[in-house]
């Protein structure tokens, strides 16, 4: 009996020792494999350095301290990306899956306090494209249940004097159910995953040489992104901008309370990037724009929105966009002796369907806009165009309620040396146009309309010119049986001007013809 117990004890001890040996050997193998991957399996243009690697034998946890990875161009030693990680923790590597299923299965990867610096001007574009194709070879699939990045800093630089292009502070990312294998790693997006979430305390983006975009905080979870307190601002004062530019350009000051993007999807299809969302909401945007017309005209060709969408270098699909309680102030400086004249739109609510370059006929992009013009005149408008139409055909219609004409004097007096009085009760107009020409039908009901032409200083009425001007203008529309004066006009688009200039040309020509003409269509 004692002998049997002794044999059993020896057997159990042997099994335990064998198990411990297997664990130790496996841990050594795993650690060696990991070190070998870092030191010899990375491509030549990717280098690394680390302070130490430690291994928890029982838990199968690898910890790398002070890891630095540098990515360079394939044919020279220029480094364009540097990643510094305070601590990389690879937890619970499954030895069973490694030995029995020939795959690397990891329960959790934690990347703590990484700093990522990317220098766009150092990248060789053709080489960069080659890097994504077959640069890393995997002999075993990698499965990661969860990846978390905490307290990350991201810097992106260009070669300009103010070289910071993107800065993201205190960002965090969590990704679940990650799969990488020899086929996936050579795709444009070299990883597959399921759930993901991200956040950041602060985001800065240099959108171009003149404007910067900032976001106070950002959160992405369950395919829903929320950006709070978004600001797009010209980084120069109005006077400084006028001195720096050679052709006219708007000075921007935009702030929005919140931007929400629902049901996000992204990826690559036949190596083409696609982005989609079911619903985008912009809350309480306030836009102030200023243009110095004393600067030389920008004579480059301006695209209509349909062409801009059609020619995007990626696939965009947004089912619906809502802009809530927006306001716009546009100021234009025409005379050197003043600061320009302004027009206002407020209480704006916009609904847009099919902001996309992927849908097929008969779907159109449609906008419904309502708000207040010059603070007291309610208006509604509809805008319809087909992204797939190469002629960029569109229909724009609007109706404007009662407007006191003197409300326009904040724009007409400084810019046109003209003062208006009276009121319009209703304006209806429809523009049927394309990228080159348009026709406008307009009808207007108004009363006691009068023009006062001002002197050069803009402080006194020029009686002679005012009298002559009013000879050609009907004082009201009551000479017509329905109290509406009507007009139709043809307009040729100036392609060097904006979309809104084209709409304004149609409105102004229709108004002038109806008020100054015989008032018949």
What pLDDT is stored for residue 459 in this prediction? 65
Is 19 a member of any domain?
yes
Is 366 a member of any domain?
no
What are the beta bridge partners of residue 464?
none
Is 39 a member of any domain?
yes
Is 345 a member of any domain?
no
What pLDDT is stored for residue 229 in this prediction? 97
Please give the model's pTM, rounded to 2 decimal places.
0.85
Is 23 a member of any domain?
yes
What pLDDT is stored for residue 257 in this prediction? 97
What pLDDT is stored for residue 104 in this prediction? 80
Cβ neighbours of residue 307 under 8 Å, at least 6 residues apart? Answer: 392, 435
Burial class from Cβ neighbours inside 10 Å (0-12, 13-18, 19+) for residue 443 reads buried
Low-confidence ranges of the chain (pLDDT < 50): 10, 18-20, 128-134, 521
Q: What size, in residues, is the chain? A: 521
What pLDDT is stored for residue 36 in this prediction? 60
Cα 131 to Cα 252: distance, rounded to the nearest angstrom: 39
Give the chain's domain count. Answer: 1
Q: What are 470's two structure tokens?
A: 């009013």
Is 495 a member of any domain?
no
Q: Note down the domain range covering 68.
A: 1-206
Is 136 a member of any domain?
yes
What pLDDT is stored for residue 508 in this prediction? 83
Cα 190 to Cα 95: distance, rounded to the nearest angstrom: 25
What pLDDT is stored for residue 518 in this prediction? 58
Specify whether the CB–CB gap between 248 and 242 falls below 8 A.
no
Burial class from Cβ neighbours inside 10 Å (0-12, 13-18, 19+) for residue 9 reads exposed
Is 80 a member of any domain?
yes
Cβ neighbours of residue 410 under 8 Å, at least 6 residues apart? Answer: 341, 342, 343, 374
């Amino acid at each position: 009996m004692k002998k049997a117990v002794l044999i059993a004890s020896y057997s159990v001890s042997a099994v335990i020792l064998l198990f411990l040996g297997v664990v130790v050997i496996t841990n050594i193998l795993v650690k060696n494999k990991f070190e070998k991957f870092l030191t010899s399996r990375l491509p030549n243009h990717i280098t690394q350095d680390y302070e130490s690697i430690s291994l928890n034998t029982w838990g199968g946890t690898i910890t790398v301290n002070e890891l630095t990875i540098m990515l360079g161009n394939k044919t020279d030693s220029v480094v364009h990306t540097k990643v510094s990680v305070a601590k990389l923790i690879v937890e619970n590597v499954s030895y069973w899956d490694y030995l029995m299923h020939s795959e690397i299965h990891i329960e959790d990867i934690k990347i703590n306090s990484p700093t990522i610096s990317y220098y766009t001007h150092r990248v060789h574009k053709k080489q960069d494209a080659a890097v994504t194709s077959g640069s890393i070879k995997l002999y075993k699939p990698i499965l990661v249940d969860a990846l978390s990045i905490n307290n990350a800093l991201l810097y992106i630089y260009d070669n300009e004097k103010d070289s910071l292009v993107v800065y993201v502070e205190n960002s965090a990312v969590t990704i679940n159910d990650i799969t990488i294998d020899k086929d996936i790693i050579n795709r444009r997006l070299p990883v597959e995953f399921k759930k993901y979430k991200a956040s950041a305390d602060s985001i800065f983006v240099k959108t171009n040489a003149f404007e910067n975009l900032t976001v106070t905080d950002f959160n992405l979870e369950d395919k829903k992104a929320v950006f709070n307190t978004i600001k797009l601002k010209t980084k120069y004062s109005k006077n400084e901008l006028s001195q720096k530019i050679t052709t006219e350009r708007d000075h921007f000051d935009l702030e929005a309370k919140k931007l929400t993007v629902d049901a996000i999807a992204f990826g690559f299809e036949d190596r083409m990037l696609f982005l989609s969302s079911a619903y985008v909401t912009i809350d309480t945007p306030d836009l102030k724009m200023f243009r110095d017309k004393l600067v030389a005209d920008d004579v480059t060709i301006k695209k209509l929105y349909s062409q801009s969408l059609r020619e995007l270098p990626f696939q965009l699909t947004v089912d619906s966009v809502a802009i809530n309680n927006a306001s716009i102030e546009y100021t234009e400086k025409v005379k050197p002796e003043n600061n320009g004249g302004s027009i206002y739109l407020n209480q704006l609510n916009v609904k847009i369907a099919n902001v996309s370059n992927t849908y097929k006929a008969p779907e159109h992009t449609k906008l419904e806009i309502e708000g207040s013009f010059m603070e007291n005149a309610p208006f509604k408008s509809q805008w319809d165009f087909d992204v797939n139409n190469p002629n960029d055909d569109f229909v724009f219609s609007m109706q404007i309620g009662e407007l006191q004409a003197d409300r326009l004097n904040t724009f007409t007096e400084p810019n046109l040396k003209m003062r208006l009085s009276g009121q319009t009760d209703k304006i209806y107009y429809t523009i049927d146009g394309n990228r080159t020409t348009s026709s406008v039908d307009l009808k207007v009901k108004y009363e006691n309309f009068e023009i006062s032409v001002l002197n050069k200083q803009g402080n006194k009425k020029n009686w002679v010119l005012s009298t002559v001007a009013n000879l050609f203008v009907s004082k009201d529309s009551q000479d017509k049986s329905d109290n509406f004066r009507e007009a139709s006009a043809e307009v040729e688009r100036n392609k060097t001007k904006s979309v809104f200039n084209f709409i304004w040309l149609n409105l102004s020509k229709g108004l002038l013809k109806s008020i100054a003409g015989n008032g018949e269509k």
